[in-house]
Amino acid sequence: MSAEAADPAAVPRRRSRPRIDLRRLGRVALLGPVPRDRLPAAISHVADAHRAHHPDADLAILHRAYVLAESSHRGQMRKSGEPYITHPLAVTLILAELGAETTTLTASLLHDTVEDTEVTLDQVGEQFGEEVRYLVDGVTKLEKVDYGAAAEPETFRKMLVATGNDVRVMSIKLADRLHNMRTLTVMRPEKQARIAKVTRDVLIPLAERLGVQALKTELEDLVFAILDPEGHEETRALIAGATGGEDPLSAIADNVRTTLREAGISAEVLIRPRHFVSVHRVRRKRGELRPTDFGRLLVLVAEDADCYAVLGELHTCFTPVVSEFKDFIAAPKFNLYQSLHTAVVGPGGAVAEVLIRTHRMHKVAEAGVVALGNPYAQGPAAPQAEPSDERADPTRPGWLSRLLDWQESATDPDTFWTTLRADLAQDREITVFRTDGRTLGLPAGASCVDAAYAQHGERAHACIGARVNGRLATLSTVLSDGDTVQLLLAQDTASGPSPEWLDHARTPAARIAISGWLTAHPEAVGPEGGVFDPSCPEGADSDGPAPGAGRAGGAEDRTEPAAGGPQPAASAGTRSRAGAAGVVVDGPDSPTRLAGCCTPVPPDAVVGIVVRGGAVTVHRRECPAVARMREIGRAPVAARWRDEDGGSDTAGCRVTLVAESFGRPRLLADLTEAIATADAAIVSATVEPPSEQRVRHTYTLQLPDAAGLPALMRAMREVAGVYDVSRAQHPAATG
């Protein structure tokens, strides 16, 4: 299953058996009956590959499946001129070499019979059982994927539905696509390019997520050759040129073998050539390739503990490249991949990348879910995991469960297709913990918004904030692997999300749920198109109250002003619709408002960001939200205060201040008194739990004039125990 096998000029990989001549198999398949006690020669290669992984497998069902497939497809020819039976044979051989179990191979032999012959699903079920029938039906639903771009979204939706119920359907489809890609040269160039693009955008990421690296790498190289023939030829020439002369990796491999043998560690040390796309990526990353960049060392051992023993010996006897070390055994990738990655400096300064894994890990790294056998067979020793654990069933990981959930809500095929491709482009996944100890699997870069919808579904519409690792956080907070997150829900279930939640949602489930609610509740957007600041889910800007724990703030963390102090100008969770007075932005006439994340006031340097609905949010130039918007392609627009144009509008402004202090009695009362003395009204106040005798207070204040801000901050700093007062640079309560 080498990626280089698709190119006759490529460097051959080490193989346990030679490449099968499918043209010869096609001729053998038509030679007529064979004795009852022997397998047909055409299927014997599949049987040999299958028995290599499953020595006790019953081959009788494969024999019967082959006979039905051959007789059904007899007389049919592929566009390449081969008998059609060579295609299901090739697909089945691919899966057999990966270690697929007998039921998968049986369905693979029959996967085109219902689509292209007179065989019915009922006949398949009667002869081979309901399990094979289901797999054949699932693959049959996917067969129209190549018949025009307009059919792709709905076809891939069906693919996900079928895959979600049994991942073996996807395994067969991936092997089917691989063989079709191998023989794609008989088609017109434009059709080759279209199929290659779909393979690149959807099937290769799916192969990656299912952990089937052997299929993924060869598909990558085949797509590379079609979509970038010049780059492919350059890479082929580089690989061919590297085969001559002395291989520096061989010398390092010999040294590693000697080192491990002297340490008493039983290990197999192999040189693993990089496939074409891998070499191409390394070349783009480093510029000029090193002699050792054309391959990596693979060290295979028996037990997990041996992996770390090998690592210790290598880092002791060789100079390690510390920045290259990664431990995917303690923290496996979302696609089941486990391995230790490191790099060491060999003789003469040559740097070699090293992969260390057990034989079992290697099998899973190559074949992914295919190597797990029948994931749905009930075994007495199989542990029963918690059904709510995202990773309880490794053959249906969290990302796949999420895709299945949101595809039911994505009624628009175009939305489904766009979101599918965006989700598959996420190549890393994080795990966050709920307060009950269960886990949520989310794509890297996911926020509290995504966690809310992953945990609560549509109930997340009422989410008002979160605690991340015990500290209050806004819903826009980006989560990290290992975080503990507690979502805070409002008692009022009639409340809904702000349009700006879409700016923080990374998962399809969250985006589709939010968009659906906003479509059903157009009144959520103000009469002038006003929406709420993306960096503050609370909507805390000139259109609503200041940031707190979330869009409406956590009630248990809100603090009322002291008796006799100023009363709030707006209650927590309300949304006013006033415009952002005093700000001028370039471009078409659009509603504007001041951002609640950084609460700009004159004479701050400001910039505008166009948000959904056409409104413009005005931020301070140094606000982190501006950088985030730039990263996702939101171009800023020029903005300035009106008095810079000669106007005299110095109306009141709203600002968020953070006071850092040491805890003491009556501190809150003294601070609110200082604020009242400065003639400022408290819109909202949040006091975080004390940490090491230190307390953080966050106040959103309404000032009659921005010119009074410096005096207000000085007055707050003069309160005993307060050691710093600053303008908020990010949503309040993020910690």
> Annotated catalytic sites, by residue?
115-116
Nearest to 353 by CA among 363, 340, 344: 344
Cβ neighbours, 10 Å, residue 702? 18
Nearest to 558 by CA among 697, 727, 734: 697
- Give the residues across from 654 on adjacent strands: 702
697: part of which helix (H) or strand (E)?
strand 694-703
List C-alpha distances in Å: 654 to 50, 274, 459, 625, 719. Answer: 71, 58, 32, 18, 22
> What six digits make up the tokens of 577?
């619709």
d(CA 511, CA 507): 6
Nearest to 206 by CA among 460, 42, 429, 425: 425
d(CA 100, CA 598): 56
Q: Helix, strand or coil for residue 485?
A: strand
Contacts (Cβ under 8 Å, ≥6 apart) of 618: 580, 583, 585, 592, 593, 594, 595, 600, 606, 607, 608, 639
* 592-594 and 616-620 beta bridge pairing: parallel
Contacts (Cβ under 8 Å, ≥6 apart) of 424: 201, 202, 205, 206, 209
Long-range contacts of 114-121 (CB under 8 A, 24+ apart): 114/140, 115/140, 115/143, 116/73, 116/76, 116/84, 117/72, 117/73, 117/76, 118/72, 119/68, 119/72
d(CA 63, CA 43): 7
CB 161 within 8 A of CB 153: no
d(CA 458, CA 419): 19
Nearest to 391 by CA among 444, 449, 431, 437: 431
Cβ neighbours, 10 Å, residue 14? 9
| Amino acid identity for residue 368 in this structure | G
- List phi, psi (to 5°) of 666: 65, 15
Q: Helix, strand or coil for residue 529?
A: coil
- List phi, psi (to 5°) of 147: -100, 55
726: part of which helix (H) or strand (E)?
strand 722-727
Is the peptide bond preceding residue 603 cis, with omega within 30 degrees of 0?
yes
Contacts (Cβ under 8 Å, ≥6 apart) of 520: none
Q: What is the 3-state secondary structure (H, E, C) of 588-653?
A: CCCCEEECCCCCCCCCCCEEEEECCCCCEEEEECCCHHHHHHHHCCCCEEEEEEHHHHCCCCCCCE
Cβ neighbours, 10 Å, residue 514? 23
- List phi, psi (to 5°) of 562: -65, 155
- List phi, psi (to 5°) of 136: -65, -40
- List phi, psi (to 5°) of 727: -75, 140
Q: Helix, strand or coil for residue 396?
A: coil
d(CA 588, CA 591): 10
Long-range contacts of 278-286 (CB under 8 A, 24+ apart): 278/217, 279/235, 279/238, 279/239, 280/224, 280/231, 280/232, 280/235, 283/235, 283/238
> What six digits make up the tokens of 296?
């990596």
What is the CA 64 to chain-centroid distance, rounded? Answer: 41
